[in-house]
Amino acid sequence: QVRLVESGGGLVQAGGSLRLSCAASGRTFSNYAVGWFRQPPGKEREFVAAIDGNGGSTYYGDSVKGRFTISRDNAKNTVYLQMNNLKPEDTAVYYCAADLNPVYDTDSYYAYWGQGTQATVLS
């Protein structure tokens, strides 16, 4: 059982940065892979980034490679998404999700989800 809470969203100009946090409950957090997904207005949810339980492997969607970085601090039960060089098309609700053994880029394989945090990028 994992409870996830996202934070760090907000309003930023194009070219700016945001750092999102995903805070998790539970003492077995290091066993869980964590993914970030986003849902832009009027569009379907899409994969952003994922990280395995120990932070040894990371994965990124094509649209964010080179701009976003996922990391985790298991001592703090927290996963981060550093978002740099933001574009208006990055505007979305960002969700973190966790599972013991997901398919990293597929939302239906994650059992636990946060409530989301809004990131808005102005042109």
Mean pLDDT confidence for 24-36: 92
Alpha-carbon distance 37 to 54, whole Å? 20
Mean pLDDT confidence for 1-8: 94
Asked if residue 1 has pLDDT above 90, the reply is no
Alpha-carbon distance 69 to 119, whole Å? 16
Asked if residue 82 has pLDDT above 90, the reply is yes
Beta-bridge partners for 40 = none
Asked if residue 88 has pLDDT above 90, the reply is yes
pLDDT in the model for residue 106: 97
pLDDT in the model for residue 27: 78
Mean pLDDT confidence for 92-109: 96
Contact present, 105 and 51 (Cβ < 8 Å):
no
